[in-house]
Amino acid sequence: MGKLIASAVTVGVLALAAWVAWATHEDRARSSAFELVAPGQDRVQAVGHLGQPDHVEPNWLGFTAYANGPCAFPCHERLWWETRLMPRGFEAWSVELDPAGRVLHKAHWVSP
């Protein structure tokens, strides 16, 4: 029975370590891809760099996990990608799009 418990603990620790390694890799890749996003690119290009967003914020409804309010004109939509390593509200990347779907602004949000 002791060996079974030790094996279960070992498997749990290895699974946790694998998840942390995966999440760290994903966040580093996202941070690097974020640098490739530039004003004037279209939505398809931004999503091509960063992958599908975790949250899409229309201009009338803010995503309060990070921002105090919705994006303001000329922003039409804000796309959000959250960190994989920490819970919601700690770190995210956002891209603001105009009504034509072009990148206006991007931001990296980090909780103090």
Predicted TM-score of the model (pTM): 0.77
At 26, the pLDDT band (50, 70, 90 cuts) reads confident
Rg (CA), the chain: 18
In angstroms, the CA 93 to CA 107 distance is: 6
What are the chain's domains?
A: 2-110 (3.30.1450.10)
pLDDT (tens digit per residue) in 36-60: 999 999 999 999 999 999 999 987 8
What is the share, in percent, of the chain residues with pLDDT greater than 70? Answer: 79
